[in-house]
């Protein structure tokens, strides 16, 4: 059974810090059968998919920071093949983040937590691929597909007398644990990817601007940057360097 609770961050819509925290107890009690759960003729409750409540959601901690859930006590390592499959899964045939769609440029999806190349090089902080809400939605989609298959398979096994009805719940919970152990690894890998790629462009441009003493080059960069959708935060960093150079010239 999935558990819920913590893995934190901060406000606003950009890619943020999501420190992993295990301070909140794991494993809530199983949810009661919901109105949409159905009893089968064989006498067991057909589990609701998606589960209610759903553990795969972005929540907020006591300080109002966004947190990613803990959904397994036995997470797979981030290098496990199942984890890789989850972070590399994408519902679109030709994935395109909202920023690239708006700019009309090609987009590339590598894996969850890593921004697409255009967003990365332009310093755009809110690429869909680094959005924890997008991650949760994608994990929910993968889980629901998997658990529906498992549920159907188990129901058929009971009907065919290959599985006692009394063992249905146990087997379904085993399938849930199997999925959530991979999902927890995917969440951790997402966080690591986010940490590793966050603000790379901003720091890079800031370092390059700081190393330049040529105001005309920086002015040309600003003009080009506005045309090519370089994020305003980077333009501000270059602008601040220009101001420093002009102040030094005038003093
Ligand atoms: Zn993109
Ligand atoms: Zn993007």
Residue written as tokens 């997008």?
Answer: 134
Residue 109 within any structural domain of the chain: yes
In this prediction, residue 97 carries a pLDDT of 96
Residue 40 within any structural domain of the chain: no
The tally of domains found in the chain comes to 2
Task: Based on the fold, state whether residues 155 and 221 are members of the same structural domain.
Answer: no
ipTM over 0.85: yes
Q: Return the beta strands (E) in 33-147 as ranges.
A: 38-39, 45-46, 59-60, 66-67
Task: Based on the fold, state whether residues 142 and 162 are members of the same structural domain.
Answer: yes
Q: What is the DSSP letter of 165?
A: G
Task: Based on the fold, state whether residues 210 and 193 are members of the same structural domain.
Answer: no
Residue written as tokens 């890619």?
Answer: 15
In this prediction, residue 41 carries a pLDDT of 67
Residue 10 within any structural domain of the chain: no
Residue 60 within any structural domain of the chain: no
The Å distance, Cα 127 to ligand 2 centre, comes to: 4
In this prediction, residue 248 carries a pLDDT of 86
Task: Based on the fold, state whether residues 181 and 233 are members of the same structural domain.
Answer: no
The Å distance, Cα 17 to ligand 2 centre, comes to: 18
The Å distance, Cα 237 to ligand 1 centre, comes to: 23
Residue 46 within any structural domain of the chain: no
Per-residue confidence of the chain (251 residues) as pLDDT tens digits? 445 455 544 333 343 444 444 444 344 444 444 444 667 766 778 999 999 999 999 998 889 889 999 999 999 999 999 999 999 999 888 889 999 999 999 999 999 999 999 999 999 999 999 999 999 999 999 999 999 999 999 999 999 999 999 999 999 999 999 999 999 999 999 999 999 999 999 999 999 999 999 999 999 999 999 998 899 999 999 999 999 999 888 87
Task: Based on the fold, state whether residues 138 and 213 are members of the same structural domain.
Answer: no
The Å distance, Cα 51 to ligand 2 centre, comes to: 30
Task: Based on the fold, state whether residues 130 and 242 are members of the same structural domain.
Answer: no
Task: Based on the fold, state whether residues 95 and 122 are members of the same structural domain.
Answer: yes
The Å distance, Cα 62 to ligand 2 centre, comes to: 30
The Å distance, Cα 40 to ligand 1 centre, comes to: 46
Q: Which ligand is nearest to the CA of 131?
A: 2
Q: DSSP labels for 94-115?
A: S---HHHHHHT------STTS-
**Residues forming beta bridges with residue 38, ordered by sequence position:** 46
Residues bordering ligand 2, an ion, CB closer than 5 Å? 97, 99, 116, 119, 127
Q: Which domain holds residue 187?
A: 74-197
Task: Based on the fold, state whether residues 181 and 245 are members of the same structural domain.
Answer: no
In this prediction, residue 43 carries a pLDDT of 73
Task: Based on the fold, state whether residues 183 and 88 are members of the same structural domain.
Answer: yes
| C-alpha span between 90 and 112 (Å, rounded) | 9
The Å distance, Cα 109 to ligand 2 centre, comes to: 8
């Amino acid at each position: 059974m999935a558990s819920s609770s913590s893995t934190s961050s901060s406000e606003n819509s950009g890619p943020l810090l999501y420190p992993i925290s295990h301070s909140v107890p794991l494993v809530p009690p199983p949810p009661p059968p919901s109105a949409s759960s159905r009893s089968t003729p064989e006498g067991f409750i057909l589990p609701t998919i998606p589960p209610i409540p759903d553990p795969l959601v972005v929540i907020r901690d006591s300080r109002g920071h966004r947190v990613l859930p803990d959904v397994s006590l036995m997470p797979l390592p981030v290098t496990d093949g199942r984890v890789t499959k989850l972070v590399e899964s994408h519902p679109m045939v030709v994935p395109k983040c909202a920023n690239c769609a708006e700019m009309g440029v090609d987009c590339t999806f590598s894996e969850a937590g890593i921004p697409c190349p255009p967003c990365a090089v332009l310093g755009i902080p809110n690429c869909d691929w680094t959005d924890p809400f997008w991650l949760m939605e994608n994990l929910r989609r993968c889980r629901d597909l998997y658990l529906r298959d498992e549920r159907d398979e188990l129901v058929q096994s009971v009907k065919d007398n290959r599985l006692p009805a009394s063992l249905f719940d146990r087997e379904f919970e085993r399938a849930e644990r199997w999925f959530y152990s991979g999902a927890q690894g995917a969440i951790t890998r997402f966080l690591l990817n986010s940490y590793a790629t966050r603000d790379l462009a901003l720091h890079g441009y800031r370092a390059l601007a700081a190393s330049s003493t040529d105001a005309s080059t920086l002015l040309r960069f600003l003009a080009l940057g506005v045309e090519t959708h370089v994020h305003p935060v980077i333009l501000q960093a270059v602008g601040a360097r220009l101001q420093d150079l002009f102040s030094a010239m005038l003093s």
